[in-house]
């Protein structure tokens, strides 16, 4: 049986700011771009969440909910420095670390013999070392699979430690909302709800054939997750080539004019993801469209910044390839390869 940890810093960017300026700890605080720039919130502290503020929310809306919100633009060089310190602690425990962003990672501790091989004690050590060395609190989940470990890390936030042992998996999953399953977004959740499925126990009543008929390949994934099956390995860090977001619509968008209003929320989500990765260098942008006949088209443009105006131009060109109703729309940014980054920093 594998032992997987998912470690997630609590409101990471805000936590760094509160660590370095203790007077911010008890006031509503958010990190994000200004409302004038049509910015979004990258993260916020827990006093801000009392007002309903959350990541990916437009800054203008956050300020309406909490006019006295302290808004900071973010110091991503500082955040990366703290992230590197935390990642180094992870690697003291195991070389099998898969970073997901600056503030979270999976760790495979199956072969670790320290702490008598106890994943619970390892998780406790990570939390204590991270706080003592960096002043940042971690929430950690331990489980035999990646998706359960990630759910567990969020179970008792902030400063949580949740262990889903093998003998607990079945009982834990039966009452788990299907919305917690990896890959189940609002559209899939709505389709499951229409079938009367809100928990994994209810999901288990659907035969595999029915799930694949209704959801295609993802139906097989749903069948497995409802039973705690997740064979994905923890993968050591590899160079990220792009960052993207997408939405599958509950109802197809019939034409280009109905697609355009869907772009701003996607652009906001993309900016939030770019912020979580410390605003990496970008080489271009890409737009993705899946039409109602399930054909897929993508269009890239080098040198453009990920702005709504740029994506709008690409959307028009990409949609013109088929001129059909749209069931999925995605936007993304291509990242500058490490080799080119090094070339840019070579001395003249």
Catalytic site positions: 104
Omega before 183 within 30 of 0, i.e. cis: no
3-class secondary-structure state, position 181:
coil
In contact, 294 and 340? CB cutoff 8 Å? no
**Cβ partners under 8 Å of residue 311, min gap 6:** 263, 266, 267, 285, 287, 331
Q: Is the bond into 291 cis (omega within 30 degrees of 0)?
A: no
- The DSSP string of 57-119 is -BHHHHHHH-TT-EEE---HHHHHHHHHHHHHHHHHH-S-EEEEETTEEEEE-TT--GGGG-H
Residue keyed to tokens 């469209």 = 289
C-alpha to C-alpha distance for 254 and 131, rounded to whole angstroms = 52
For residues 175 and 193, give the distance between their C-alpha atoms in angstroms, rounded to a whole number: 15
Judge whether 83 and 67 are in contact, CB under 8 Å: no
Angle ∠(69,48,26) on CA atoms, nearest 5: 85
Contact 63, 115 (CB under 8 A): no
Q: Find, among 309, 328, 149, the residue nearest to 248 by Cα.
A: 328
Q: What separation, in Å, do the N-terminal and C-terminal C-alpha atoms of the chain show? A: 54
Question: Are the C-beta atoms of residues 210 and 202 closer than 8 Å to each other?
Answer: no
Separation in Å, CA 347 to CA 77, 283, 342: 22, 21, 10
60 is written with which tokens? Answer: 């203008």
């Amino acid at each position: 049986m594998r032992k997987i940890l998912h470690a997630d810093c609590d409101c990471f960017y805000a936590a760094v700011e509160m660590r370095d300026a203790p007077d911010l700890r008890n006031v509503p605080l958010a990190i994000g771009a200004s409302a004038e720039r049509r910015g979004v919130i990258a993260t916020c502290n827990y006093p801000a969440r009392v007002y309903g503020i959350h990541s990916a929310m437009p800054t203008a809306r956050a300020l309406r909910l909490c006019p006295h919100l302290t808004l900071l633009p973010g110091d991503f060089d500082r955040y990366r420095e703290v992230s590197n310190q935390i990642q180094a602690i992870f690697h003291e425990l195991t070389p099998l670390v898969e970073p997901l962003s600056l503030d979270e990672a999976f760790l495979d501790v199956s072969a670790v013999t320290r702490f008598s091989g106890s994943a619970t004690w390892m998780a406790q050590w990570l939390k204590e070392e991270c706080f003592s060395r960096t002043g940042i609190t971690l929430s950690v989940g331990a489980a035999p699979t990646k998706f359960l470990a990630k759910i567990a890390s969020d179970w008792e936030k902030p400063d949580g430690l949740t262990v889903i042992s093998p003998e607990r998996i079945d009982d834990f999953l039966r009452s788990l909302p299907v919305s917690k399953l990896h890959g189940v977004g609002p559209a899939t959740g709505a389709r499951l709800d229409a079938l009367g499925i809100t928990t994994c126990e209810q999901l288990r009543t659907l035969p595999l054939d029915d799930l694949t008929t209704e959801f295609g390949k993802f139906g097989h994934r749903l069948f497995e997750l409802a039973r705690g099956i997740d064979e994905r390995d923890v993968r050591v860090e590899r160079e990220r080539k792009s960052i993207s977001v997408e939405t599958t619509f509950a109802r197809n968008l019939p034409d280009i004019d109905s697609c355009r209003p869907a772009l701003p929320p996607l652009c906001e989500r993309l900016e939030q993801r770019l912020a979580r990765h410390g605003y990496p260098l970008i080489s271009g942008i890409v737009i993705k469209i899946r039409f109602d006949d399930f054909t897929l088209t993508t269009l890239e443009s080098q040198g453009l910044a990920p702005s709504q105006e740029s994506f709008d131009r690409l959307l028009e060109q990409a949609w013109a390839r088929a001129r059909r109703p749209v069931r999925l729309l995605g936007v993304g940014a291509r990242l500058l390869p490490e080799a080119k980054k090094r070339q840019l920093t070579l001395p003249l």
